[in-house]
Structure 1
Amino acid sequence: MCVVLALACVAATGWSQSVKWIVSRDNDFWRETKTSLSRHSEMTPVLTIQAGDGKGDKESRGETPGHVFKHWGTTFNELDWEAFIALDRDVQDKIMDDLFSPDGDLRFTRGRVSMNCNDYGSSWYSCDEVPGDLELRYFNIERDKRGIIPLIRAAQKFNPELTFWISPWSPPSWMKINHDYPVVSSRHNNADPRIDYLLFGAVDGIDEDEMKFLGERNSQFPRKLASQDYFIQDPRYLQAYANYFCKFIEAYAEQGVPVDMVIYQNEAYSYTPYPGCAWTAEGTVRFNRDYLAPTLEKRHPDVKLYLGTFNTNRLDHVEKVLSDSLLRESIEGVAFQWEGREILPEIRKRYPDFSYICSESECGNGDMDWKAGEHTFFLIADNLGNGCDEWYNWNFLLPKQGMSRWGWKQNALIELDPETRTCRYTPEYYAVKHFSNLIRQGARIEGYYYDKADRVPVLAVRNPDGMLLVVTSNPGDNERKLSLEIGSRYLNATLSPHSFNTFCIGANEALSL
């Protein structure tokens, strides 16, 4: 594979400055070459980055600093565990080293755990399926001990400092008005279709395939909002559920898994045939403000409460939730995924004091191909560029086509061939690597550019040591020229078609501009 460079002519003095350039294309990943900074630009720069180390105050740097990035993370799911145990021990160790070691490929530092079963569990379960057990006498994490916690321990072997946060897909089935784990009936569950009307007050408009996430849907999501909460709004149940979160935190702590953040619900706007729970704005405020927040404050004051995960682009609805001042005092951040990304910039503008995270990467459709990698690359750049200080991958290891127990396919960073028991690192793995391998905890986002017309995202990030990183891709069929103004110099390059690119300007070079 030939990478075409278009460098500005070096001045007569021979001045140039070396820049590491890492390029990936389909089936030709992580090629390192070099380019150089120039005195002149070949085109109008898409970004202007000030010189400096990113540590000075606004006045001395001559700019407004961006937000500080904190963590890269992934999710621990049962189907990942099933794929993992099909591998030989040396392959298992290689994967965990690549994903979690501080000097590995992806360098994940945090994990997401589902409280109760999620859509990539092997079958439905919760930690207490005893109807009416409001005292939670039968609460246990025995199922987690057979899959989730062993998978976590395999990761902790390579990074003992991993920390974790939790969110449920569905409460115990007996805590819901339909007394079942899904929201709607489907050929993939045993839910009673006669009570599907509970969702909207009518059965019209319910589509079990609406939850098959196949990329940009380019429309309002969800098309309709739930007309009532699926969680029983009895104070006894609401308090029992708040206690349930605390018992889960305590049970995981006993297993050596530190949980330091809680989110009350995964995707309250996905009306699912798999584990899920629909909440109204009023129910969301009530549970978080009046039950979960004060219970955590009393029993686990060191655990942060974030709001989300918002997978809706209905700005008015999210604003209705966040407009409650008492609730805002109880939370430290907000989590967005899927369509929620579309309203992230506006919400962050209105509420600048919160932390914002991308709580889940989009899951694809089982192809695990270059196109999926390009989509994930754009999403990472867009989430970080628009204010997220943490980013989380969904599945990291699945068999070919990644079939769930509820009837559709999803992607993973690593694909298992069950017949040969071998693994393939997918383009999405390298899309993540182009960011997470080099962007360190404490890095400052210096600039972000994206033009929908050419679809080229450009993210500029400065690490705590002063190293400047420019991460960009070219998803088009033709070469794309790029120029950035960096201090008094310019980074000029031509990006190969369908390529991921990371430019590294070392700390000394960045400081000398």
Structure 2
Amino acid sequence: MRKVLCILSLVATHAMAQTFTQYTTTEQAPWQTKGKASLSTKAKAQPILHSSLSTLNSERQFRAWGTCFNELDLDAIRLLTKEEQEKIMHDIFAPDGDLRFTRGRLTMNANDYSRAWYSCDTVAGDFQLKYFNIEHDKENVIQLIKMAQKWQPKMTFWVSPWSPPSWMKINQDYCVASSPFNTQPKEKDYLLFSLTPSPSPKGEGSGNQESVVDPDEMKFANGQRGRLFPKKLATQNYFIQDPRYLQAYANMFCKFIDLYAEENIPIDMVMYQNEAYSYTPYPGCAWTAEGTIKFNKEYLAPTLKEKHPEVKLYVGTFNTNRQDYVEKIVSALTAPAHSPLSTLHSPLISGLGFQWEGRENLDFMREHHPDLHMISSESECGNGQMDWRAGEHTFYLLHEYIGRGCDEYYNWNFILCDQGRSAWGWKQNALVQVRSANRTYRYTPEYYAYKHFSHFVEPGSTLIAFYPIKDGIQSIVFKRPDGKRVVICGNTNNEAKSLSIQLGKKYLNVSLAPHSFNTFVEGLSKKR
């Protein structure tokens, strides 16, 4: 009798494993359970999607979903009741929540979604870091981190600065370019390209008509600026290239890690700079390739290995599609190190961070540097509309970054007020929108774009198929650590689409509603 029961159990398990539960989101109806879909021996629809994974991407495990912690997020969530705050933080961070984020990105000093500029050390010439502190953070962004840690106590973090302290920069200011939203004199803008002055349009010798940042270049248009970004590269480093400054800055990273550890916030990864190729009116810092290589190779890497060997060094965040420029940096930092402090292992870096136009480098980097981890360090931030179109674009980005080699993915702001306006005039999107007028909130389409990925694709899941978007259809397939497969599909067309996805020797035949996100999960009967 026991033998018969075992056989029946195996048959039942096999049958369950052939059945997929479908979850669908449209603009009108988010996260709906649409019933079951079973594997078939025949493909019943066109197109038929066959696996297109290269050997470089095959059997690659996804490692983490995460988000960034910013002051304006704290301001937004504090408008809500305590009960509403707890629900949102549970849904985003709890192991049994919706998004299940386990990683956080931090900034050292202010970023563009801080309330205003501040730094951890305002004393010029403080190379000994006597006055370096995180007291501002304790009263602000660390409060937001603690709210997340309540629901995800095992959360880990990484850090990158937007700008060094202003006294460490050649322009003595936190920004790169002047604007009505900061106080930098316009006369300083020429510093960015000062080694290659452009002729005046009137032929009156050296001028600066082409030496300042094109104001349209920083406008956000869902990552499609339609040209090389930036159009011109900085010709000098905004960080002062003096050994005292460079070493003190490397020490700052270690001091920051130490002080955050005292707050029970573990930092296990570092990147030297956010978007060194955005020449910003908000906190930023321009670096040349040579400056990037010098700081990382001669200062930051050996200092971390001496003081925090457990902390990994990644290089990024790369937000430029100038592939030769990126490759020059990466190749230099993956060459054998000769510093006497670099005794632990080589290469100096463990991975790369990409965002915005940096996405265009993914295929090349995966091919030429297969041993390096690649992450999407920041999802694109949109324009404050927080509408369905933004959700579709984020769904596309999730699909593209992960399918083309990234094993971690980070959202930018997870909650903002109204249209997400920053102190420097930007309007940006978030996963949760708070309406300040009546103190209510809603989950945006981008929230559900993430949920269709992160709710079922656990850390340790293996990418087994990737189908780049074509004719408005995209799909990606994972195998979870428990062996169950997860198929995620998007349809951006105005009409329903049917397609067949090959899984081994069988096919998953599915129907996708117009403008929809879809997730098919193998063998799960419990409602999620």
Instruction: Give yes or no for TM over 0.5.
Output: yes
Q: 2:90 matched to which residue of 1?
A: 97
- Equivalent runs, 1:397-408 vs 2, <5 Å: 397-408=415-426
Alpha-carbon distance between aligned partners in 2 of 1:100 and 1:226, rounded to the nearest angstrom = 39
- Equivalent runs, 1:272-421 vs 2, <5 Å: 272-324=280-332, 325-326=335-336, 329-421=347-439
Distance 1:30 1:182, change over 3 A: same
Whether the 8 Å contact between 1:348 and 1:387 is mirrored in structure 2 is yes
Deviation at 1:279, TM superposition (A): 0.3
How big is each residue's C-alpha offset from its partner over 1:351-385, in whole Å with a ceiling of 9 and x where there is no partner? 00001100000000000000000000000010110
How big is each residue's C-alpha offset from its partner over 1:130-172, in whole Å with a ceiling of 9 and x where there is no partner? 1111111111111101111010000000111000000000000
Alpha-carbon distance between aligned partners in 2 of 1:419 and 1:206, rounded to the nearest angstrom = 36
Deviation at 1:419, TM superposition (A): 1.6
Q: 2:215 matched to which residue of 1?
A: 208
Alpha-carbon distance between aligned partners in 1 of 2:463 and 2:276, rounded to the nearest angstrom = 30
TM-score, structure 1 as length reference? 0.91
The one-letter code sitting in structure 1 at the alignment partner of 2:137 is D
Q: How high is the sequence identity, in percent, across the aligned residues?
A: 55
Q: 2:504 matched to which residue of 1?
A: 487
Distance 1:290 1:471, change over 3 A: same
The one-letter code sitting in structure 2 at the alignment partner of 1:373 is G
Q: 2:342 matched to which residue of 1?
A: none
Deviation at 1:486, TM superposition (A): 1.3
- State which of 38, 43, 50 in structure 2 corresponds to 1:47: 50
Deviation at 1:245, TM superposition (A): 0.5
Q: 2:225 matched to which residue of 1?
A: 217
SS in structure 1 at match of 2:41: coil
Alpha-carbon distance between aligned partners in 2 of 1:396 and 1:358, rounded to the nearest angstrom = 16
Q: Does 1:270 align with 2:306?
A: no
- State which of 250, 259, 266 in structure 2 corresponds to 1:258: 266
How big is each residue's C-alpha offset from its partner over 1:278-315, in whole Å with a ceiling of 9 and x where there is no partner? 00000000000000000000111100000000001100
- Equivalent runs, 1:21-60 vs 2, <5 Å: 21-33=22-34, 34-42=36-44, 43-48=46-51
Deviation at 1:112, TM superposition (A): 0.3
- State which of 179, 191, 207 in structure 1 corresponds to 2:184: 191
Q: 1:147 matched to which residue of 2?
A: 140
Q: Does 1:240 align with 2:240?
A: no
Alpha-carbon distance between aligned partners in 1 of 2:106 and 2:143, rounded to the nearest angstrom = 13
Q: Does 1:425 align with 2:443?
A: yes
SS in structure 2 at match of 1:330: coil
SS in structure 1 at match of 2:265: coil
Gaps of 5+ in 1: 1-13, 51-57, 509-513
The one-letter code sitting in structure 1 at the alignment partner of 2:465 is G
Across the two proteins, how many residue pairs are aligned to each other?
484
Distance 1:261 1:91, change over 3 A: same
How big is each residue's C-alpha offset from its partner over 1:386-440, in whole Å with a ceiling of 9 and x where there is no partner? 0100000000000010000001200000000112111100000000000000001
Q: 1:87 matched to which residue of 2?
A: 80
Whether the 8 Å contact between 1:169 and 1:266 is mirrored in structure 2 is yes
Over 4 Å off, 4+ runs: 14-17
Whether the 8 Å contact between 2:56 and 2:370 is mirrored in structure 1 is no
Alpha-carbon distance between aligned partners in 2 of 1:235 and 1:48, rounded to the nearest angstrom = 51
The one-letter code sitting in structure 2 at the alignment partner of 1:419 is A
Q: Does 1:136 align with 2:129?
A: yes
Whether the 8 Å contact between 1:468 and 1:507 is mirrored in structure 2 is no
Q: 1:54 matched to which residue of 2?
A: none
Whether the 8 Å contact between 2:177 and 2:189 is mirrored in structure 1 is yes
Alpha-carbon distance between aligned partners in 1 of 2:87 and 2:17, rounded to the nearest angstrom = 39
Deviation at 1:488, TM superposition (A): 2.3
Deviation at 1:507, TM superposition (A): 8.2
Whether the 8 Å contact between 2:272 and 2:316 is mirrored in structure 1 is yes
RMSD of Structure 2 on Structure 1 (CA): 2.0
SS in structure 1 at match of 2:376: strand
SS in structure 2 at match of 1:29: coil
Range with bigger deviation, 193-202 or 223-232: 193-202
Whether the 8 Å contact between 2:314 and 2:351 is mirrored in structure 1 is yes
TM-score, structure 2 as length reference? 0.89
Alpha-carbon distance between aligned partners in 1 of 2:28 and 2:412, rounded to the nearest angstrom = 23
Range with bigger deviation, 146-155 or 26-35: 26-35
Whether the 8 Å contact between 1:76 and 1:111 is mirrored in structure 2 is yes
Alpha-carbon distance between aligned partners in 1 of 2:16 and 2:125, rounded to the nearest angstrom = 76
Whether the 8 Å contact between 2:56 and 2:366 is mirrored in structure 1 is no
SS in structure 1 at match of 2:451: helix
Alpha-carbon distance between aligned partners in 1 of 2:304 and 2:56, rounded to the nearest angstrom = 39
Gaps of 5+ in 2: 1-14, 198-207, 338-345
Whether the 8 Å contact between 2:17 and 2:523 is mirrored in structure 1 is no
Distance 1:63 1:119, change over 3 A: closer
Q: 2:202 matched to which residue of 1?
A: none
Deviation at 1:16, TM superposition (A): 11
Alpha-carbon distance between aligned partners in 2 of 1:406 and 1:152, rounded to the nearest angstrom = 24
Deviation at 1:17, TM superposition (A): 4.2
Alpha-carbon distance between aligned partners in 1 of 2:511 and 2:425, rounded to the nearest angstrom = 43
- State which of 209, 226, 229 in structure 1 corresponds to 2:237: 229
Alpha-carbon distance between aligned partners in 2 of 1:41 and 1:386, rounded to the nearest angstrom = 26
Alpha-carbon distance between aligned partners in 2 of 1:379 and 1:229, rounded to the nearest angstrom = 31
Q: 1:6 matched to which residue of 2?
A: none
Alpha-carbon distance between aligned partners in 1 of 2:144 and 2:234, rounded to the nearest angstrom = 35
How big is each residue's C-alpha offset from its partner over 1:315-369, in whole Å with a ceiling of 9 and x where there is no partner? 0000111121146711100000110011111111100000110000000000000
Whether the 8 Å contact between 1:304 and 1:331 is mirrored in structure 2 is yes
